[in-house]
Copies of this chain bind each other. A is one copy, B any other.
Amino acid sequence: MVDFTEDLYVPKERMYVATDCIIFGFDSGNLKLLIFKRRVKPLLGEWSLIGSFVKLNEDVEEAAQRVLKEITGLENVFMEELKTYGNADRDPGFRCVSIGQYALIRINDYDKELVEKHGAHWHDISEVPDLVLDHNQMVQDALARIRRKARYKPIGFELLPEKFTIPQLQRLYEAIYQKELDSRNFRKKVLSLNVLIKLDEKDKTTSRRGAFLYKFDNKRYQELLKSGYNFEIS
């Protein structure tokens, strides 16, 4: 990669397409963001989202999944396009259009060694440092998107382990909405959706009494999506 950090003017002779991943996780009651400290020029040492140029022979979406796999070791992660960042002057080095993609991962699944090897770190969403280029904007846009999206799609489940408790699910939604929810109303609402399967196990890590574990009934959810179900939770 060329080092443009010392040139103020760089002729822009061709177009590049990149993709940047806004990677969310959920842990200890907080939404987390995976970012990394650049180990190469340009912008060495600065915090940045994880991204890559899109290769000539790969789909934009493939590029994003490739990046995600390189960093976390995970495949088939939930990922959706956020938007395109296409201002002519967004990157002082290249004329580069970047397609932001947000990903939701189960924070216990990823490959910790791989993440460390790449210099990546999880940051609490409320403590994200200054990022390079327009990456802070991307994070804000992605947050706004998942806050809105969580109202009509059960994306929250992508952030939880396969088995989870209802209080866990509630803490996740509270982290997404930045708002405390009433536990009685919350439980009533999520159970009324009929997409949770109650298991015979309890999670005793957060209380003496223990909370029942549930699984997400993906088949049932697909049926509901087709019939226009609404997952609004207030």
User: Are A87 and B59 in contact, CB atoms less than 8 angstroms apart?
Assistant: yes
User: Are B14 and A88 in contact, CB atoms less than 8 angstroms apart?
Assistant: no
Q: Quick one: closest B residue to A12, CB to CB?
A: B56
Binds B, one of A1-9, A78-86, A131-139, A210-218: A78-86
In angstroms, Cα B44 to Cα A37, docked, is 49
User: Is A61 located at the chain interface by the 8 A CB criterion?
Assistant: yes
In angstroms, Cα B97 to Cα A155, docked, is 27
Partner of A13, one of B13, B56, B97: B56
Which chain B positions have C-beta within 8 A of A56? 12-15, 88, 95
User: Are A86 and B57 in contact, CB atoms less than 8 angstroms apart?
Assistant: no
User: Are B81 and A99 in contact, CB atoms less than 8 angstroms apart?
Assistant: no
Chain A interface residue number, banded:
20 to 34
Q: Quick one: closest B residue to A100, CB to CB?
A: B84
Which chain B positions have C-beta within 8 A of A12? 56-57
User: Are A88 and B58 in contact, CB atoms less than 8 angstroms apart?
Assistant: yes
Which chain B positions have C-beta within 8 A of A83? 81
User: Are B97 and A97 in contact, CB atoms less than 8 angstroms apart?
Assistant: yes
User: Is A125 located at the chain interface by the 8 A CB criterion?
Assistant: no
User: Is A229 located at the chain interface by the 8 A CB criterion?
Assistant: no
- Cβ distance A102 to chain B, nearest Cβ, rounded Å: 13
Residues of chain A from 62 to 105 with CB closer than 8 A to chain B in the complex: 62, 81, 83-84, 86-88, 95, 97, 99
User: Are B87 and A84 in contact, CB atoms less than 8 angstroms apart?
Assistant: no
- Cβ distance A63 to chain B, nearest Cβ, rounded Å: 8
Closest A-B pairs by Cβ, 10 of them: A60-B86, A59-B87, A84-B99, A15-B17, A17-B97, A59-B88, A56-B95, A12-B56, A81-B83, A57-B88
